[in-house]
Structure formats: structure tokens, C-alpha cells
Amino acid sequence: MKKALKIAGIGFGILVLLLIATAAWIQFTPMPTYEVKPPTVQLPVDSASLAKGRKVVELACTHCHLGEDGKMSGRLFSQATDPFGEMWTANITQHPTKGIGRYTDGELAYLLRTGINRDGRVVGPMMCHPNMSDEDLASIIAYLRSDSGIMQPSEATHPAPAYLSSFMVKALIKFGVFKPLPYDGKPISAPPATDQIAYGRYLATEFYECYGCHSASFETNNPMEPEKSPGFFAGGNPVPDEEFNTCISRNITPSKEHGIGSWTEEQFLSAVKGGIRPDGSMLQHQMPRFAVLDDEEVRAIWAYLQTVPPSENNPLRVEAK
Ligand code: HEC
Ligand code: HEC
């Protein structure tokens, strides 16, 4: 009996030592960094590409990066009470040291593919477009480098994200739960606009990322294979605005009861471009106004959404909880 107790005691002691060692490793060793492998980027100079870049930046970057000075100087993105703690989005104006002036085009492209910043730290995947065509990605970078007013240098600086000193988050990063998106550097192209359904899929899952807000949750989305995101296009994701007021996204699968299965294409067009529902009510501002989209783009997204399996999820039931 005594011997058994002794062995148990030693076992317990070893376990405690192991736990202390692991905790010390998590807390005191530096965050893992990743090698930055910038691809070669050919920036377009034609006005059509710049206009395209502007569309993505205005619809996919400004809601997070637009600061109080009206430039892309960054804003408070998550509050101290959030699981990740206080975090600011970065100053991505052209400032040479405080903004993206310090990035090369290749480093920006690598960040937008993988979420790895130029120091090798994982900051994504909020800004990642892993399957966007090389051409469209280059048009984003061209716009970031353009003479657009929102990109002009801002002096704004922000506190380092709280998660860098959070034990929990450090553990998740060190155990590889949060990791960068894979990128093998192979050329990526977009389907032609003439292939309407494939083009609509590209716009809805990659270019304008409709699926990101319209699937179950930002945390469970699968940027590499969007169709594998839980609740794909079935809504229910609480989408916050700048003041952290949330609005639950809607089911936009072809379900007749809970989705947009009984809508017409024209009704879809006015909802997406003008924010007006078929019953005349206005969509809340957490749904961006896609007024700058060409009708052809919205029609392609519509055609594609008809091919998404209908989901009987009622997102508003979640809201009523
Ligand atoms: C959902 C919010 C969100 C969206 C959308 C977003 N970002 Fe960010 N971005 C962030 C946050 C938060 C950080 C800072 C993360 C950190 O420091 O850990 C950041 C950091 C950055 C950085 C700086 C990385 C560094 O540390 O040097 C760049 C560059 C950037 N974003 C570019 C973009 C571009 C371009 C887009 C649009 C294609 C975009 N982001 C869309 C939230 C967002
Ligand atoms: C930033 C998050 C976000 C993005 C990106 C987004 N949506 Fe939405 N969308 C919402 C939210 C939130 C609502 C619910 C608004 C409300 O209830 O007033 C909504 C509502 C809608 C509705 C109305 C559905 C209904 O039943 O009333 C349609 C249609 C729609 N979105 C289509 C799209 C399309 C198409 C795209 C991509 C081009 C897109 N959304 C991108 C957040 C988003």
C-alpha cells in the first residue's frame, strides 16, 4: 500500500513538473514566426484594374481599416472583453514606417494569401483571399499604392494586440491551432465572366466574400474550401459594425421558407445593390451596400446561389434566443 502511494506520488510529481515546463514554454519562449516567401507581383497600370482593386478594397478592407481621419489608418477592432482582448486594425496607409510603405508588393501579396506579415507573424486570416486570381490580387495592391485619398500617409499608431501577451492565445498559436493559410505560389486564375455560375461562385466566395458573413460564424469559416464552412450561405452569423452592434446575417440559399427561394432575380438585385427587401423594408447597415457592382456580377452571383443546396436554417430563430 505504502509503495503504491509512493509510486503514485512520484507520478504526480512528474506530471506537475511537465505541466510547469509546458506552461513556461508557452509563456516565455518567443512566438513562432514563419518564413516569408514573397511571390513576384506584376502591378497593373490600366484604369480598369485600378477600378477593380478599388471595388475590393472598398468592400473588403475599409469596414475594418478605415480610421477616424477618413484614411485607412486603422480602428479599434475588438474590445478588451472579447476572447482575443483588445485589438486594433493596422495603419495600412502609404506611410513609410507606420503604414504599408515598408512592405514590398510581394510581401503584401504573401500577407493577402497566407496571413503572414512581413515580420513572419500570423495576423490573418481576416485579410486573406487565398483563392483570388493573381491578377485580381495585384489589382488590390495597385489600389493600395494609388493616389486614392484614403491611402495617403497617416501618422496613426496603435497599441500592440493584447493577444500577444495572452497565455491562452499563445498556447493556441504554439500548439498550431492558429496557423497561416497554405500557399504554394502556383499561378491562380479566375473563371471568365461568360462561365456564369463559376464566375458567380468566384465573386460570392472569393472576390466579395458574401459567404464569409452569410455562413454560420467567422470562426468556423473555411477560407481554403468555402463550401466546407459550417452553415454555408445559411446565415446566422452575428455581424458587428464599428460600434460593435451586431446584426444576424440571413439565409440566402434557395430555400423557399427561410432563404431567398421565392425571390425574383430583380428583387435580389435591389437587395444587394440598394439594400431594399422585396417587402420594401431596408436592410440594416451591417449588410454592405454593393451599389458599385455591375448588374452582370449580381446576376452571376444570383445564378450561382441557385446551385447552392437549400438550407432550412432559420437564422432569426438564433436571434430570438
Ligand atoms: C475583419 C477585419 C479585417 C479585414 C476585412 C481586413 N483586415 Fe487587415 N487587419 C485586421 C487586423 C485586426 C489587423 C491587425 C492584426 C494584428 O496585428 O494581429 C490587420 C492587419 C493588416 C495589415 C498589417 C499587417 C502587419 O502586421 O504589418 C495589412 C497590410 C492589412 N491588414 C491589409 C488588409 C487588406 C489589404 C484588406 C482587404 C483586402 C484587409 N486588411 C482586410 C483586420 C482586417
Ligand atoms: C459584412 C458582412 C456581409 C457581407 C460581406 C455580405 N452580407 Fe448580405 N447581409 C449581411 C447581413 C448582416 C444581413 C442581414 C441584414 C438585415 O437583417 O437587415 C444581410 C442580408 C442580405 C440579404 C437579404 C436577405 C433577406 O432575407 O432579407 C441578401 C440578399 C444578401 N445579404 C446578399 C449578399 C450578397 C450577394 C453578398 C455578396 C455580394 C453579401 N450579402 C455580402 C451581411 C453581409
Domain annotation covers residue 112: yes
User: Which of 301, 269, 270, 275 has its CA nearest to residue 288?
Assistant: 275
> Is residue 7 situated within a structural domain?
no
Q: Which of 41, 65, 239 to mutate to test the pocket of ligand 1 (most atoms within 8 A of CB)?
A: 65
pLDDT grade, residue 179 (50/70/90)?
Answer: confident
pLDDT category of residue 321 using cuts at 50, 70 and 90? very low
Mutate to test the pocket of ligand 2, among 208, 214, 246, 292 (most ligand atoms within 8 A of CB): 214
pLDDT at 99 over 80: yes
Predicted confidence at residue 1, as pLDDT, reads 65
Q: Indicate whether 152 and 91 sit together in one domain.
A: yes
Distance 74 CA to ligand 1 centre (A): 9
The answer, yes or no, to whether any atom of ligand 2 lies below 6 A from the CB of 290, is yes
Helix (H, G, I), strand (E, B) or coil at 316: helix
Type of residue at 65:
H
Q: Is 90 in the pocket of ligand 1 (CB under 6 A)?
A: yes
SS3 240: strand
> How do residues 237-246 score in pLDDT, each as one tens digit?
999 988 889 9
Over residues 168-189, mean pLDDT: 86
CATH number at residue 129: 1.10.760
User: Rounded mean pLDDT of 116-133?
Assistant: 92
CA pair distance 146, 9, nearest whole angstrom: 67
Q: Within this chain, do residues 53 and 170 fall inside the same structural domain, yes or no?
A: yes
Phi-psi region at 115: left, alpha or beta (left = phi > 0; alpha = psi -120 to 50): left
What is the predicted pLDDT for the residue at 316?
85
pLDDT of 269 reads 97
Residue 93 DSSP code: S
What pLDDT sits at residue 28?
81
pLDDT per position as a tens digit, 250-291: 999 999 999 999 999 999 999 999 999 999 999 999 998 888
Cα–Cα nearest to 307, from 229, 230, 254: 254
Q: Are residue 157 and residue 202 in the same domain, yes or no?
A: no
Model confidence pLDDT, tens digit, residues 36-62: 999 999 999 999 999 999 999 999 899
70 shares its domain with 158 = yes
Rounded mean pLDDT, 196-201: 98
CB 252, CB 305: distance < 8 Å: yes
Q: Which residue minimizes the CA distance to atom 43 of ligand 2?
A: 287
Ligand 2 center to 247 CA (angstroms)? 10
One domain for residues 91 and 205: no
Asked if 122 and 170 touch (Cβ cutoff 8 Å), the reply is no
| Residue-by-residue DSSP string for 276-290 | B-TTSPBPPTTS---
Percentages helix, strand, coil for the chain, rounded to the nearest 5? Answer: 40, 5, 55
Domain total of the chain: 2
Question: Residue 185 Cα, ligand 1 centroid: separation in angstroms?
Answer: 21
100 CA closest ligand 1 atom index: 29
> Which protein residue has the closest C-alpha to ligand 1 atom 29?
92
User: Across residues 178-198, what is the average pLDDT?
Assistant: 94
Closest CA to 85 of 197, 161, 183, 185: 161
Q: Is 14 inside a domain boundary?
A: no
**How far apart (Å, rounded) are the C-alpha atoms in residues 14 and 250?**
52
Question: Is residue 265 in some structural domain?
Answer: yes
In a domain, 37, yes or no: no
Q: Which residue has its alpha carbon closest to ligand 2 atom 27?
A: 277
Q: How far is the CA of 214 from the centre of ligand 2 (A)?
A: 7
Ligand 1, pocket-test mutation among 126, 170, 207, 219, most atoms within 8 A of CB: 126
Provide the domain limits for residue 131: 47-174
Q: Domain for residue 32, yes or no?
A: no
pLDDT at 318 over 60: no
How many Cβ atoms are within 10 Å of 66's Cβ, its own excluded? Answer: 19
Do 207 and 95 sit in the same domain of this protein? no
For the Cβ of 60 lying below 6 angstroms from any atom of ligand 1, the answer is: yes
Task: State the average pLDDT for the chain.
Answer: 92
